[in-house]
Amino acid sequence: MFGYRVPAPDQAMLISGGKRGQGGAPFRVVTGHGKFVLPVFRKVRFLTLAMCEAEVAEKCVTRQGIALTVRAVIAFKVGNDTESVVNAGQRFLSDQDQMAVLTGRIFAGHLRSIIGSMTVEEIVTERQKLATEVLETSKTEMAKIGLTVDSLQIQSIDDGDTGYIAAMSAPHKAAIQQKAQISQAQATQASVEAQQEAARNQAEYQRRTAIVQAEYNAEVERAQAKAAQAGPLAQAHAQQEVMAAQTELAERAAQLRQQQLVAEVVKPAEAEAERIRLLALAEAERMKIQAEAAASYDRVALDRMVIDQLPQIVKEASAGLQGANVNVLNGADGLGEIAAGLVGQGLTILDSVRQNLGSASSPNNATGKTDKAGPADNGQGHSGRIEIE
């Protein structure tokens, strides 16, 4: 729209003409939105609100009287409030580059003032303290011209050719160098130890590798030797099994032959021997029975013969009494006793004959002849003898 103006985000639009601004300012301040401006009757100018930078390189003298060249950088801008915009617009609207020049001069003065109250050691070791004090002392003055300082950085401190800072830092440098040398020596020692440890580890690894390789080679050789011997060993084992089988077959054949011999020779021989033994026993029993029968028959025949000969025996015995001088003291009784004695003597002779016949019938008397002499003494000196064939 014709006559409608809008400031940039980092600008403040200053409209002069017409009504005055806030607080009796000669212009109105517009930020963040647009405004309709009547042409010819109103005039519009823009003031930057962006960040600006000012550099300071100032020679300062410390409390010790040592000259130092201090370099600093100041970051500043116009304040966001209307009062700061009005103050800055009234001072720098026609030449906004003067804000950096003026700011540098202001900070240079405050920097000389503050450094003059400090020692070199304090300045070198407490730069942040120096920057804070400069900011605090310059804040009120900067606010009057509508500017605010965001930061102050001390870039460098140089003592020129005096060498004070270098001398001040010499002990520290020496200590640092000593520490650096010690650290370097320790690092070198650690490096050497690490290298030695690495060498030992490598040697140990090589030793283990050689052992493993040797064991592997030995295992391979054993496997090869075993494989080379597998054929002969298998053949020998097969031959051994064949021999064992042949031996077992021969033993079984021998056992079979032995069983055949037992069945063909021993058993028949034992059976024949048993048959012969049984036949012999039967024959012996038969002969015994026959002998007993013969002996029994002989006894019967002998008894009959003795009985038949008994009268003759008594007669022969009584013949011995002929011509004997016998005195019979008790008459008929005495005569009877004499007759009875003769008969008893005859019976004794008969028993003796029987016994001799029994002995003659035993196997020890193979001729069948028996000679026995029995006493025929009747108490008077007479005797007799009988021989039987």
State which of 109, 137, 162 marks the end of a domain.
162
Q: Please report, rounded to a whole number, the percentage of residues in the chain having pLDDT higher than 90.
A: 9
pTM metric for this prediction:
0.42
Strand partners of residue 148:
77
- 16-20, 64-68, 135-139, 287-291: segment of lowest average pLDDT: 16-20
Distance CA 82, CA 67 (A): 42
Average of per-residue pLDDT across 375-388: 40
Round the average pLDDT of the chain to a whole number and report it: 77
Exposed, middle or buried, 237 (CB in 10 Å: 0-12/13-18/19+)? exposed
Residues 68 and 129 in one domain: yes
Distance CA 177, CA 182 (A): 8
Q: What is the DSSP string of 79-118?
A: -SSHHHHHHHHHHHSS-TTHHHHHHHHHHHHHHHHHHTTS
Who has greater pLDDT, 310 or 80?
Answer: 80
Distance CA 276, CA 157 (A): 152
Domain count, the chain: 2
- 383 Cβ contact list (under 8 Å, min separation 6): 375, 376, 377
pLDDT over 50 (residue 365): no
Residue range 122-181, pLDDT digits in tens: 888 888 888 888 888 888 888 888 899 888 888 888 888 888 888 887 887 788 888 888
pLDDT for the residue 260: 83
Q: Is residue 18 part of a domain?
A: yes
Residues 145 and 68 in one domain: yes
Q: Is residue 4 part of a domain?
A: yes
Average of per-residue pLDDT across 219-245: 84
pLDDT for the residue 23: 58
Distance CA 36, CA 43 (A): 11
Residue 27 CB coordination number (10 Å): 25
Question: Domain range for residue 77?
Answer: 54-84+91-162
Question: Which tokens go with 117?
Answer: 């109250």
